[in-house]
């Protein structure tokens, strides 16, 4: 299963092609906006497979999503509570 990163504007401009690739080839797309992962596009068959997957399969997916998850922390704590 291939996973591709794509900018939100590229996804918007090529949605039909992306949808065809998702449905016909099983490709997963991670949509990024301002270099931050925001959403995933995957086929219904892929989604059903994830829901039905065993614990090991779910762990692999969670690991991939955590690696792609945006990190919203800004700055450093400098003291206080």
Per-residue pLDDT of the chain (81 residues; tens, 9 = 90+): 788 999 999 999 999 999 999 999 999 999 999 988 899 999 998 888 887 878 887 787 778 777 776 655 555 555 554
Task: Report pLDDT for 25.
Answer: 94
Quote the pTM value: 0.70
Q: Flag whether 78 is in a domain.
A: no
Q: Which of 1, 8, 2 is nearest to 70 (CA)?
A: 8
Q: Flag whether 81 is in a domain.
A: no
Put the strands of the sheet holding 3-7 in their side by side order. Answer: 3-7, 28-33, 36-41
Q: CA-to-CA distance for 39 and 36, rounded, in angstroms?
A: 10
Q: Flag whether 51 is in a domain.
A: yes
Residue corresponding to tokens 């994830």? 50
Domain span at residue 10 reads: 3-68
Q: Number of folded domains in the chain?
A: 1
Task: Report pLDDT for 47.
Answer: 83
CATH code, domain carrying 28: 3.40.1620.10
Task: Report pLDDT for 58.
Answer: 78
- Would you state the torsion angle of the CA atoms of residues 53, 11, 72, 70, taken in this order, to the nearest 10 degrees? 30
Q: Is residue 31 within 8 Å of 11, Cβ to Cβ?
A: yes
């Amino acid at each position: 299963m291939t996973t591709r990163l794509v900018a939100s504007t590229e996804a918007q401009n090529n949605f039909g092609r992306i949808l065809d690739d998702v449905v016909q080839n099983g490709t997963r797309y991670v949509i990024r906006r301002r270099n931050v992962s925001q959403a995933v596009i995957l086929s219904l068959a892929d989604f059903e497979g994830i829901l039905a997957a065993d614990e090991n399969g779910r762990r692999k997916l969670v690991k991939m999503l955590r690696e792609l998850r945006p990190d919203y922390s800004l700055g450093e704590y400098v003291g206080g509570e």
